[in-house]
Amino acid sequence: MKNPDTANNPSMEDLVSLAKRRGFIYPGSDVYGGLSGTWDYGPLGVALKRNIMQLWWKMFVDDADNMYGVDAAILMNQKVWQASGHVDTFTDPLVECSNCKGRFREDKIDTSRCPNCGQKGTFGEARQFNMMFKTHVGPVQDDNSISYLRPETAQGIFTNFKNVVDSFYPDLPFGLAQQGKAFRNEISPRDFIFRSREFEQMEIEYFVHPDHWQEAFEAWIAKVHEWTEALGLPAESVHELEVPENDRAHYSKRTVDFEYDFPIGREELLGLAYRTDFDLGNIQRVSGKTMEYRPKDGSAPFVPHVIEPSFGVERALMAVLSAAYWNDTDNERIVLRLPKQLAPVKVAVSPLLKNKPELVAKAREIYALLKKEFGAVAWDDNGNVGKRYRRQDEIGTPYCVVIDFDTLEGENAGTVTVRERDTTAQMRLKTDELIDLLRK
């Protein structure tokens, strides 16, 4: 067997094709010719995405003792986006080709030549294009009824800061976490699910005393690495980029982008930013309500500062897929070497032969037992056993269980064949040993 670590490097086409073929991700509105920048998740994609999001919630919320979850509405009062600066400044520079009318993000192309029609000198001045999707709430369409599909989940956290402090009065530092959809009207969505118009975020606002932001920031860097490791991403493919001052948002005193070696190159996977008291300060100014935190020791109240780790679900999923994808040429198979806890299917069960009722009955019994215990269990009796293994390898199922005649009688009665995905090694286990193995 080749060293799996050197047999990787799938192309983007490999991932897109596997994702579509095996029911992970489809182009959005595909049957009507699609809708640019949108993607739909099929049965295995939903499972993988939820497993990533649940792992995140467990690591950062359930396993921590100072984290609180929130789930704010997607539609928010327009004052949120005025106060945050999104209405005025959440823009990308848009240029249009006077020849082919193609529209592009000025900072993403060489404007001396149109990337669509090839003409030179067809671009004029860029104009600032606001990326928020605008809508109206209620039957009257006027300036007062304007709302937006939120372009980030973060503001839904900040607007609930005071609610949570009033309800729980947590000690500082503490964090608020949220997962949910966000929307950006990208000028040029691209690279599969990497940059789409509708996506999902997992964000934390971690509130600290202004004097202690540095140690909190360092602790978050370490936590981010724990996260990328749990996703199965090789450490050498994850890179910290210290964002220089002139590239940072004006309110941020320090930002570290975590980049990953995707098939499209080294790109941002997630970001960690020190946002000072910028957001709570804005809310305080525009709403007229105090955002001060009153320390329990009676010392002077202050507006907390914030460290923000911001994760994109789709980018995490794309990184997971590309790290897991393995073209095992020795065994002529494609394998998704997903971490067990992320695999959409935990184990597949099949009878050696589907025309032997005694095998099928026993296999059904074991299937029902495992299903009750683990939920995500597949029944597969199509084709021969070799083909079943290949199919399960391709969707990342860690184990396949086969019920054969030895299960029914003889010295191995009561044992099943368990085949391991990455090594293809097979072993015979009793059902309680199998359950222990799957629990690990």
431 binds Zn ion (CB under 5 A): no
Closest CB to Zn ion among residues 100, 221: 100
Distance between CA 170 and CA 197 in Å, rounded? 36
100 binds Zn ion (CB under 5 A): yes
Sheet strands (E) in 346-409: 347-351, 377-379, 399-403
286 binds Zn ion (CB under 5 A): no
Segment contacting Zn ion by CB under 5 A, of 108-116, 173-181, 227-235, 274-282: 108-116
Segment contacting Zn ion by CB under 5 A, of 16-24, 99-107, 279-287, 340-348: 99-107
Residue type, 292: E
Spell out a b/e string for 216-225, using b for 16 or more CB atoms within 10 Å of the CB, else e: bbeebeebbe
Q: HSE (CB half, 13 Å, CA atoms) of 272?
A: 20
In angstroms, what is the minimal distance from the CB of 279 to Zn ion? 40
Spell out a b/e string for 5-34, using b for 16 or more CB atoms within 10 Å of the CB, else e: eeebebeeebbbebbeebbbbbbbeeeeee
Distance between CA 434 and CA 337 in Å, rounded? 20
Angular region, 152: left φ>0, alpha ψ -120 to 50, beta rest: beta
Is residue 407 a contact partner of residue 415, using CB atoms and an 8 Å limit?
Answer: yes
Closest CB to Zn ion among residues 115, 210: 115
In angstroms, what is the minimal distance from the CB of 189 to Zn ion? 19
Residue in 117, 219, 286, 368 binding Zn ion, rule: CB under 5 A: 117
114 binds Zn ion (CB under 5 A): yes
Segment contacting Zn ion by CB under 5 A, of 117-125, 284-292, 349-357, 394-402: 117-125
Segment contacting Zn ion by CB under 5 A, of 13-21, 90-98, 164-172, 371-379: 90-98
In angstroms, what is the minimal distance from the CB of 119 to Zn ion? 5
In angstroms, what is the minimal distance from the CB of 127 to Zn ion? 17
In angstroms, what is the minimal distance from the CB of 124 to Zn ion? 12
In angstroms, what is the minimal distance from the CB of 186 to Zn ion? 19
116 binds Zn ion (CB under 5 A): yes
Is residue 374 a contact partner of residue 414, using CB atoms and an 8 Å limit?
Answer: no
Closest CB to Zn ion among residues 1, 100: 100
Residue type, 347: V
In angstroms, what is the minimal distance from the CB of 188 to Zn ion? 13
Distance between CA 320 and CA 316 in Å, rounded? 6
The pairs formed by 136-139 with CB atoms below 8 angstroms and a separation of 24 or more are 137/75
In angstroms, what is the minimal distance from the CB of 137 to Zn ion? 38
- What pairs with residue 326 in β-bridges? 335
Closest CB to Zn ion among residues 101, 266: 101
99 binds Zn ion (CB under 5 A): yes
Distance between CA 315 and CA 233 in Å, rounded? 12
Segment contacting Zn ion by CB under 5 A, of 92-100, 193-201, 312-320, 332-340: 92-100
Residue 139's contacts (CB-CB under 8 Å, 6 or more residues apart) are none
Segment contacting Zn ion by CB under 5 A, of 18-26, 106-114, 225-233, 317-325: 106-114
Angular region, 166: left φ>0, alpha ψ -120 to 50, beta rest: alpha
103 binds Zn ion (CB under 5 A): no
Spell out a b/e string for 92-104, using b for 16 or more CB atoms within 10 Å of the CB, else e: bbbbbbeeeebeb
- What is the secondary structure of 248-309 as a DSSP string? S-TT-SEEEEEEEEETTEEEEEEEEEEEETHHHHHHHHHH-----B--TTSPPPBPPEEEEE
97 binds Zn ion (CB under 5 A): yes
In angstroms, what is the minimal distance from the CB of 131 to Zn ion? 22
Neighbours of 342 (CB within 10 A): 23
Segment contacting Zn ion by CB under 5 A, of 69-77, 109-117, 301-309, 425-433: 109-117
- Count of residues of this chain found to bind Zn ion when the rule CB under 5 A is applied: 7
In angstroms, what is the minimal distance from the CB of 101 to Zn ion? 7
284 binds Zn ion (CB under 5 A): no
221 binds Zn ion (CB under 5 A): no
Residue in 10, 37, 102, 312 binding Zn ion, rule: CB under 5 A: 102
Which spans of this chain sit near Zn ion (rule: CB under 5 A)? 97, 99-100, 102, 114, 116-117
